[in-house]
Structure 1
Amino acid sequence: MNQEYEQDDRFETDEDEAEATRRDAGDAESSRASRGWWDRNADEYQNDHGAFLGDDRFVWGPEGLDEAEAGLLGPAEELKGLDVLEIGAGAAQCSRWLAARGARPVALDLSHRQLQHALRIGGEVPLVEADAGALPFRDGSFDLACSAYGAVPFVADPVRVFREVRRVLRPGGRWVFSVTHPIRWAFPDEPGPEGLSVSASYFDRTPYVEQDAAGRAVYVEHHRTLGDRVRDVVAGGFRLLDLVEPEWPAWNGQEWGGWSPLRGNLIPGTAIFVCERED
């Protein structure tokens, strides 16, 4: 992709206010909703969170855990020369960080508009528009794969995605991804005191869906318990090496949706799964 970034009216919409509900949503509906939602909301998302994410910073979640400090992909000095796939890359901030350390990243996202923001920021990172459940790469193309809140929370069948990731990784390849911590699903998505009381069953796996007046999903997010996630990792052909639950740091005073210092000091908001391909 090498077209210039410009404001694109195709992604502006006067949709009726979406209705929030809990109902089933399959692969096709979830994918269609995610593509549309991110295309419509990419501008606002980058405007609201771009300063926190930076242009070439690798942040695992709203807590601000930085890969430069965490080293979940391995020592930074050993990234040079490695082929890395970033899934759900958004504006490719993480991929730029990897490229600056000598890696050869490819940034993949379902949303055309998010990738236009990657072009706006610039850099020499290859961009690919594709679905995480059908990766357009040959077997064994990458040494590492990563995803910071990308793709995994929004797919109906995460095992399908994991098997695709395994396929494109080389033997022993590492796969690291972050998602909303499963315990958060039992609490309201509110940053203040009203978000500290359990309001739903942690064990209810029914997807969260926002739908338009015609009942079409415009946003879908899927809940998996912590045990579900571990089983999905194994079913996808990986060995779980670590599960990281970042604590809220004292320096981070911002609120991001339902993430906040108040909640972050009491309950985990992010779960990061560090996995290795089983050969």
Structure 2
Amino acid sequence: MTSQTATGAGAGTPDEPEATRRAAGVAESARANRGWWDRNADEYQVEHGTFLGDDRFVWCPEGLDEVEAELLGPAEQLAGRPVLEIGAGAAQCSRWLAAQGAHPVALDLSHRQLQHALRIGATFPLVCADAGALPFADASFDLACSAYGALPFVADPVLVLREVRRVLRPGGRFVFSVTHPIRWAFPDEPGPEGLSVAASYFDRTPYVEQDDAGRAVYVEHHRTLGDRVRDIVTAGFRLVDLVEPEWPSWNTSEWGGWSPLRGNLIPGTAIFVCVRD
């Protein structure tokens, strides 16, 4: 899952990169984010590992679980089906899929994240590769999924979507979650200061953290809801559902800018359910 929602710029301290909004292309975004996730994978798993579990399929900081959501279909229908998880991190979702009898393959740009998948007991294929150039043959999978993986961080989401469509069989389903686009208009703060609009929703300028030499070390890309829908259609998918999870009463945790306060007022996550006809 994403580390943050980027809505504003600020000067970094000597120990922190500078946050800004500027253009960032495909290669720069991939290089920056591979490095960021390799450097921060350990901290990320310590901070969020308990919430994610070792073998749960959690779609978002709201805590929507595939057990209840069944966005990939009923669990009893997953057995024997090849599934590609994109931006898998420590592959907790793939572990859950394997427990249902599916045949998952977990792909991530970060080698260090996949080492955590080995640590928690992954027994299925782990692939370190870019989502924009999937190393699989056409029509290799029945299903594909991505819980905050890849799509928020790539400069060309259509490239990724077309690659996913290529490796899916006709009738295959791709489900992916991203930060809800409306969140880009608000500061990334869990408290009351995160409830006032601070930026234009229509400003697609990427959020970039850069070092003293101006090299990007972390990049997130903003797409409006309309952009996401057009990307999906342009890539050849059919959008069959858009899920905006509400904040559940049991979830009292904060995750970056996600919190019960904000979650009860504005959506934090958008989940797109797509079919390859």
TM-score range, shorter chain: over 0.9
Matched with 1:101 is: 100
In 2: Cα distance, 1:271 partner to 1:244 partner: 6
Deviation (angstroms), 1:16: 4.2
In 1: Cα distance, 2:103 partner to 2:274 partner: 20
Matched with 1:243 is: 242
Matched with 1:77 is: 76
In 2: Cα distance, 1:38 partner to 1:66 partner: 24
> Is the Cα–Cα contact under 8 Å of residues 36 and 218 in structure 1 kept in the other structure?
yes
In 2: Cα distance, 1:97 partner to 1:275 partner: 21
> Is the Cα–Cα contact under 8 Å of residues 91 and 122 in structure 2 kept in the other structure?
no
Residues 89-130 of structure 1, C-alpha deviation per residue, up to 9 Å, x if partnerless? 000000000000000000000000000100111131210000
1:223 paired with 2:216, answer: no
In 2: Cα distance, 1:120 partner to 1:210 partner: 29
**Which aligned pairs between 1:156-171 and structure 2 lie closer than 5 A?**
156-171=155-170
What secondary structure sits across from 1:274 in the alignment?
strand
Matched with 1:181 is: 180
What secondary structure sits across from 2:155 in the alignment?
coil
1:259 paired with 2:252, answer: no
What secondary structure sits across from 1:160 in the alignment?
helix
Residues 166-224 of structure 1, C-alpha deviation per residue, up to 9 Å, x if partnerless? 00000010000000000000000000000000000000000000000000000000000
In 2: Cα distance, 1:162 partner to 1:233 partner: 7
Residues 238-272 of structure 1, C-alpha deviation per residue, up to 9 Å, x if partnerless? 00000000000000000000000000000000000
In 1: Cα distance, 2:98 partner to 2:118 partner: 15
Matching residue's letter, 1:40: R
> Is the Cα–Cα contact under 8 Å of residues 16 and 212 in structure 1 kept in the other structure?
no
Matched with 2:90 is: 91
**Which aligned pairs between 1:5-154 and structure 2 lie closer than 5 A?**
16-154=15-153
Structure 2 length normalisation: TM-score? 0.95
Consecutive unaligned residues in structure 2, runs of 5 or more: 1-13
What secondary structure sits across from 2:213 in the alignment?
coil
In 2: Cα distance, 1:214 partner to 1:225 partner: 31
What secondary structure sits across from 1:262 in the alignment?
helix
Matched with 1:192 is: 191
Matching residue's letter, 1:161: V
Mean alpha-carbon deviation: is it higher for 120-129 or for 167-176? 120-129
Matching residue's letter, 1:158: P
| Structure 1 runs, 4 residues or longer, greater than 2 Å off | none
In 2: Cα distance, 1:172 partner to 1:161 partner: 18
What secondary structure sits across from 2:144 in the alignment?
strand
> Is the Cα–Cα contact under 8 Å of residues 16 and 213 in structure 1 kept in the other structure?
no
> Is the Cα–Cα contact under 8 Å of residues 188 and 195 in structure 1 kept in the other structure?
yes
Consecutive unaligned residues in structure 1, runs of 5 or more: 1-14
Deviation (angstroms), 1:75: 0.7
Structure 1 length normalisation: TM-score? 0.94
In 2: Cα distance, 1:16 partner to 1:216 partner: 15
What secondary structure sits across from 2:117 in the alignment?
helix
Matching residue's letter, 1:199: A
In 1: Cα distance, 2:276 partner to 2:22 partner: 33
In 2: Cα distance, 1:123 partner to 1:155 partner: 26
Question: In angstroms, what is the RMSD of aligned CA positions?
Answer: 0.7
Matching residue's letter, 2:129: A
What secondary structure sits across from 1:213 in the alignment?
coil
